[in-house]
Each structure stands twice: as structure tokens, then as C-alpha cells.
Amino acid sequence: MASLKKRGSTYYAQYYVGTRQKRVNLGTGSLQIAKEKVRQLESSMYRGDDNPLPTKTPIAKIVAEYVEYMRIHKTARSVERDLYYLRETFGPICPALEIKNKKISDKGKRTPSRNTVPPLEVSYLEQITTADLSSFIAAKVRKHALAPKTANRYREILTRLFNWAVSQQGIKLAGNINPAAKVERYREKAPQISFLTLEQIDQQLVALAAYPDLQMMVAMYIYAGLRREELCWLRLADVDFSGRGNGMIRILVNRH
């Protein structure tokens, strides 16, 4: 069992691990909040967690480490896309989020937009709440007329950041809850899909008649519905010739 101690205006939790006494700053002067944190502490101790209370990690440090992780595990294009969303959310809080193009940076300084949504003003990752993120994304949607897909992109990238921080860096969040994952998704419209007409397909293939290899690739994309990566990695074993006599050749592609 843990007990509450107050020193000055701040509450502390005092408890034992074996025969060793520990005292943890609860970071609050509210008795009600302190009691809730003690309850969480006792619950975590019952589960065998040696460090049950939220950690305190500088946001600049964890974002910089996350960007380094992304550069190792993701493509350069994907990293740059994610950097944009992280920069919009937190601002240029570390070198990895600074704008490298000086002309763009200087231009932004000369003509600041009144409709710009300021980044989150937090010092530590664990301070960020679901309400903070919901309000930030909602402001982006209102002022910049973001599409639901773009709004959900903020939620997706921030969810990955928090998940990585917990699983790879040992970060402990309040209540073990990822605040970004709790942000309500915006409803996206079904995508509008357009198809080439048979006449347009014939025109494309005729235009490539002088380039048989390229013509074959385009025909595969159109008639087999393959993605670029799928065609690049296509093997002979992926082609089913059993229906060739009936003019049908099947492509076996595993997309899962």
C-alpha cells in the first residue's frame, strides 16, 4: 500500500519495494488528483510493474530519436512526408524538424499567415492528452479546410510515435493509454475510382507499339490490375497458365 505525503504544495507517494522505502513526486497539489495517481500506483504495483508512474521525457529528445529510427526503417520519401506532420504538430523543436531549404524558411518569415495553427506547446511527451491532439487537429481542419483523410493522417502518425516511444523507449504514459489512438477518426468519403475505356486502352497500347517491352508492362498493369511493386517482383511461379487454352492467364499475387 502507498501513502500520501505533502511537502509544501506538492503531494508525494510513499511506498515500499521489499524492505526499501521509496518516495515519488506526484507532480500535483490537488488531493483528488494525488489520490487517483496513488490508486494507479497501487494497481501497477499489484501487476508487478517496478516503475508504474508516467515518465517525464523531453519532447524534442524523443521526436529526434523517432526520426532517426524512421530514417533507418522507412524510405526517404515516407520519412519526409511524416516529418511534415511532426513539424506541424510540434514545431521545429529539434534539428531533424528544422526546414532545410533556407529560401522557404525566409519566405515563411516574411509572410506569416494569420490562419496558421500554432504547434503544441508541451515540454514532455507524457503531458500530451487526447484533448490536446483533438483540439489541434480540429483547428487544422477549420482553418486549413483539411480533408478527413489528411486529418486522420495526423492521428495515424502521432499514434505510431507514441506506440514506438512506449515499446522501444520504455516511455510510460498516464493510465497506459496512447492519447493519439483515442482521438476520434474523421469520416472519410469513399474514393472516386475512374476507369479507362476500351478505346483509351487501345490508344495507349498503340502509342507504345514501338516499345514492346514497355507496351507489355502497361498491358499487364491494365489487364491484370497489378501494382507497380507487384509487377516488379513478379515471378514465373506467380503465373497460372492452366486456362491459357481459353485465352485466360491468371496472376497469383498475395497482397496480405
pLDDT tens string 105-127: 444 444 445 568 999 998 999 88
Nearest CA-CA partner of 132 in 144, 143, 147, 117? 117
Amino acid at 77: R
Instruction: Phi first, then psi: give them for residue 162, nearest 5 degrees.
Output: -65, -40
Note the pLDDT tens digit of each residue in 59-92: 999 999 999 999 999 989 899 999 999 999 999 9
pLDDT value, residue 110: 43
- H or E segment and range at residue 107: helix 102-110
Give 136 or 13, the one with higher predicted confidence.
Answer: 136
**How much is the mean pLDDT over the chain?**
84
Report whether 252 contacts 240 (CB < 8 A).
yes
Domain ranges of the chain: 3-46, 59-176, 198-251
pTM above 0.75, yes or no: no
**Which residues, listed in sequence order, are joined to residue 25 by a DSSP beta bridge?**
12
Note the pLDDT tens digit of each residue in 153-184: 999 999 999 999 999 988 888 778 899 999 99
pLDDT value, residue 183: 96
C-alpha grid cell for residue 107? Answer: 519566405
C-alpha grid cell for residue 187? Answer: 469520416
Q: What is the three-class DSSP state of 253?
A: coil
Sheet of strand 10-17, all strands in order from the earlier edge strand to the far edge? 3-7, 10-17, 20-25
Report whether 177 contacts 138 (CB < 8 A).
no
Note the pLDDT tens digit of each residue in 202-236: 999 999 999 999 998 898 888 888 888 788 888 88
